[in-house]
Structure 1
Amino acid sequence: MTVQMDIAALHDFIAAEFAQARGYVVDHVGDREITVRLPVDDRHLRPGGTISGPTMFALADVTVYLALLAMIGPKALAVTTNCSIDFMRKPAAGVDLIAECRLLKLGRVLAVGDVLIRSEGQSEPVARATLTYSIPPER
């Protein structure tokens, strides 16, 4: 399948349509895959000096959303219909989180993505998530 939105187009989309996702950085886009970086700062930390679960959930969700848009184009109304996330180990504080997504299914009305989240510089994942997205019908 051909990529419909490259890194620059995804960053432009975020700036114009999805202000809540500002701060996420797309590092790589390929056929049904994407890598998104979250530069971590104090607002992402929870007591104990680790990155919060909601921060990792949001990274997984945004990553699948951007992977989907990269493949189908700027359909802002694609929405999450399901998510399962496993928090596997404590993320490192003071380094970026890196999310790598593969779209396992890209159908006409549903997409399923698998995401591994790592702390930059570490090989073992800190979280794994699977998300399903509903794709709006063509009008």
Structure 2
Amino acid sequence: MELTPVMNPEALNRFLETDFPQLHTDGKVFEVVDVSPGSVVMRLMPNERHLRPGGTVSGPTLFALADVGAYCAVLAHIGPVALAVTTSLNINFLRKPKPGPLTCTCRLLKLGKRLAVMEASIFDEDADDLVAHATATYSIPPR
């Protein structure tokens, strides 16, 4: 499956800022840092709101990172379609993340006319051990 991106990181970040400003309510913590054929890498710089007792990033924050990363992976390859929506997302929490930056690599497994399926792998920045793994399906509206 050969997938060619149609949006770069700058265009995706601009789209998130204009169409989803609520994502940055507490400051800009989500950022697309790389786009390549079939994948997107997103960075999360968590603030106090994203932490939970025990000195770790919360599960809902990891879920949001996987979901936003998956959304950006779809948009990177179909263009700025605001009404593409999550139809399912399953996440497995594997390790306790450090209370610092995280990276999420989202890889498209299938991109059809109406559905996209992808996986998201979340890591502590500068670490090789997987913190969480998710699979997601997005519904793409008709053009």
TM over 0.5: yes
Structure 1 gap ranges (5+): none
What is the CA-CA distance between 1:15 and the residue it aligns to? Answer: 1.2
Q: Distance in 2 between matches of 1:120 and 1:86?
A: 18
Aligned partner of 2:89: which letter?
Answer: C
Note the C-alpha offset of 1:85.
Answer: 0.3
Partner of 2:109 in structure 1?
A: 104
SS of the residue aligned with 1:133?
A: strand
**Counterpart Cα distance in 2 of 1:12 and 1:84:** 27
- After superposition, residues 1-139 of structure 1 pair within 5 angstroms as 1-22=3-24, 23=28, 24-93=30-99, 95-138=100-143
Runs of 4+ in 1 over 6 A off after TM superposition: none
| 1:49 Cα deviation from its structure 2 partner | 1.3
Secondary structure of the 1:101 match is: strand
Structure-2-length-normalised TM-score: 0.93
RMSD of aligned C-alpha atoms? 0.9
Report % sequence identity. Answer: 51
Please say if residues 29 and 35 of structure 1, whose CA atoms lie closer than 8 Å, have aligned partners that are also in contact: yes
TM-score normalised to the size of structure 1?
A: 0.95
